[in-house]
Amino acid sequence: MAYFKVEKLVKYFGGLAAVNGVSFEVQKGEIFGIIGPNGCGKTTTFNMISGVFPPTSGKVIYQGKEIQGMKSHKICHLGVGRTFQVVKPLGRMSVLDNVTAAAFSRVNTIREAREVAEKTIDFCGLAPVADVLAKALPIAGRKRLEITRAMATRPDLLLLDETAAGLNPTELLEAIELIRKIRGNGTTVIIIEHIMHLIMTLSDRIHAINFGQSVAEGTPKEVAANPQVIEAYLGKDYA
């Protein structure tokens, strides 16, 4: 039994298919990359997995359980955490309060939540800005806050949606290090990314999507060599 898989996911908005038959399987403990050109349906796929909206058809199976169509908060409680491509900080709350709010998904008292939050903040390296209001953080901080908050819900499976976009080279290295650390912790990671360097270095396997459909899957090397992928996506960068 696969740890996590999606089967023939389809999503129509009005008459348009944003996702039209995406299927993949993720093994426990791996870092699984999803690539594809802009508007190919990556984020829509994430939104269906995390319950922002239900798929038009298809299945999402997590640890043997069909979770498609469930509400976001329920899926979070099952152990699937996510970050948003367009960051959504809880602006008028401090970093610590942001993470504390997330920690309540696992514990009930404010003391425990604080503890979890502080630990997670340390783990993710946000301790120096713990008391800063989230809206006052620079973009790198906000991206990192997204991850920290998701980690505070103690996910078993973490969905990262372009967490490296807009980062400078140093920040990028830090991000790679953090994601490795998260995986090292036993968390499975699915990652959407545009920055090829990052996804090629990090991913154990990569799944390529184009026009809402799966086109290729394999190790970074295999995918990079796949002619369809090169044509559809990498062509522009690598040709």
Partner 1 sequence: MKKTPVAAIVAVAALALLPLVLADNYFLHLLILFLIWVIIGSSWNIMAGYTGQVSFGHAAFFGTGAYTAGLFVMHGGFSAWWGMAFGGVAAMLLGLPFGAICFPLRGAYFALASLALNLILMHLATIAERFTGGMQGIMIMPTFVSKVPYYYITLGMAVATLVVVQSIIRSKWGYYFVSIREDQDAAESLGIDTNRYKNVSLAVSAFFTGTAGALYMNYMGFIDPHVVFSLHDYSVMAILVAIVGGVGTIYGPAVGAFIMVGLQELFRSGFFGLFKYLGDRTGSETFTQAMEVVQHAHVLVFGILVVVVILFLPNGIVGDWGKIRKSVFRSKPAA
**What are the residues binding partner 1 (CB under 8 A)?**
50-52, 71-74, 76-77, 81-82, 84, 88-93, 97, 100-102, 104-105, 108-110, 113, 149-150, 152-153
The half-sphere exposure of 22 on its side-chain side, counting CA atoms within 13 A, is: 32
Q: Pseudo-torsion of CA 28, 31, 37, 41, nearest 10°? A: 30
Nearer to partner 1, 49 or 198 (CB): 49
In whole angstroms, how close is the CB of 9 to partner 1 at the nearest point? Answer: 19
Nearer to partner 1, 126 or 223 (CB): 126
In whole angstroms, how close is the CB of 65 to partner 1 at the nearest point? Answer: 17
Cα separation, 236 vs 99, whole angstroms:
39
Backbone angles phi, psi at 90, to 5 degrees: -80, 90
Cα separation, 11 vs 117, whole angstroms:
35
In whole angstroms, how close is the CB of 120 to partner 1 at the nearest point? Answer: 12
Give, rounded to a whole angstrom, the gap between the first and last alpha carbons of the chain.
39
Nearer to partner 1, 42 or 82 (CB): 82
Q: How many CB atoms lie within 10 A of CB 152?
A: 27
Burial 192-222 (b: 16+ CB within 10 A, else e): bbbbbebbbebbebbbbbbebbbbbbeebee
Nearer to partner 1, 96 or 206 (CB): 96
In whole angstroms, how close is the CB of 216 to partner 1 at the nearest point? Answer: 29
In whole angstroms, how close is the CB of 42 to partner 1 at the nearest point? Answer: 17
Q: How many CB atoms lie within 10 A of CB 136?
A: 13
Nearer to partner 1, 49 or 215 (CB): 49
Nearer to partner 1, 3 or 104 (CB): 104
Cα separation, 117 vs 136, whole angstroms:
19
In whole angstroms, how close is the CB of 63 to partner 1 at the nearest point? Answer: 17
